Copies of this chain bind each other. A is one copy, B any other.
């Protein structure tokens, strides 16, 4: 059994890691930390884990050494404490934003503070199995992308690689409330957030930089909070390169994703479900990708959806762990999602 620990386990990403890891057949969850809730039973905070674990949250100074250490810690704090974390595990899987961007200037540009561990910046392998599987097999440091970023990377990279996209991409991202985390603020009050269509980032969202870094294309992204707890959906608009068409798009996706366990290219012609919708993906590690061509122009609209806490975070991180440990890649990640839900 692989001994793993989760730092920052009281939050939503942390809780999702606990859900998956306590069900995972090859893993022993050895510790879960929370400064705020140390000493409290995990299942009092994450009630879905009743009967699954008797563990209590521990203080961070109780950590010893683990095979794999998952970091669900805030940005800034993560880069400051990374040297300490690196001494505590063979493999670090970081879910914070601090090591997603390779370039310190871009980090400062989007996070508004200078990077404080630039020497480590290049040393993390992107937690994107679909594009970095080989490196992940031996990676000791993994940085998992942001939830909206991962949807955008999976939606757009195959088209960018194949040279099918001309110039800029615009992304309209919609996200549920769990993406804002478990900290209470008036903006996250149910009465304020329920039924909202809240444009909270009209420009310059941090995940925009990740999509741009992965695709090598300029990206303009807008982020709107919609009525959902889980779920991210991206609607990406681009222009096709000269001569590119539906067949090229299909084959670009097929080449990349035909054998991928967790990316599904949705190609229904009709019906309720012909485009990806996060509604049916809650709890699952799938990212669904689909597209539509504008008959009147060279425009293409790519739609991607995932559960922000699973394929957009904890599930994707466990998929990376499975690869690193040489386990079957889908182990512990086989929940297909619910319909209706």
* Residues of A bordering B, CB below 8 Å: 12, 15, 19, 22-23, 44, 46-52, 170, 172, 174, 176-178, 180, 182, 184-199, 202-204, 220, 222, 224, 226-231, 233, 235, 237, 264, 266, 268, 271-273, 275, 277-284, 286, 288, 292-297, 299, 301, 303, 305, 334-341
Contacts and interface: CB of A to CB of B under 8 A. Distances in A.
A38 to B, nearest CB: 16
A131 to B, nearest CB: 20
Given A15-B339, A198-B272, A230-B340, A184 B188 contact: yes
Contact of A229 (B49, B228, B264, B341): B341
Nearest to A336: B48
B194 A177 contact: yes
A197 B278 contact: yes
B184 A190 contact: no
Contact of A191 (B12, B288, B305): B12
A233 B266 CA distance: 26
A249 to B, nearest CB: 14
A8 to B, nearest CB: 16
Contacts of A172: 172, 235
- Best-surrounded residue of A170, A272, A288, A299 (most CB of chain B within 10 A): A272
A199 to B, nearest CB: 4
A52 B330 CA distance: 13
7 residue pairs, one from A and one from B, having the closest CB atoms: A202-B292, A227-B227, A190-B193, A191-B340, A47-B273, A177-B190, A48-B337
Contact of A48 (B204, B224, B339): B339
A312 to B, nearest CB: 14
Contacts of A284: 48
Nearest to A176: B191
21 contacts: A44-B271, A46-B339, A47-B273, A50-B264, A51-B264, A174-B224, A177-B191, A190-B193, A191-B340, A192-B272, A197-B226, A198-B277, A199-B303, A203-B293, A203-B301, A204-B295, A220-B299, A226-B227, A227-B228, A229-B341, A230-B341
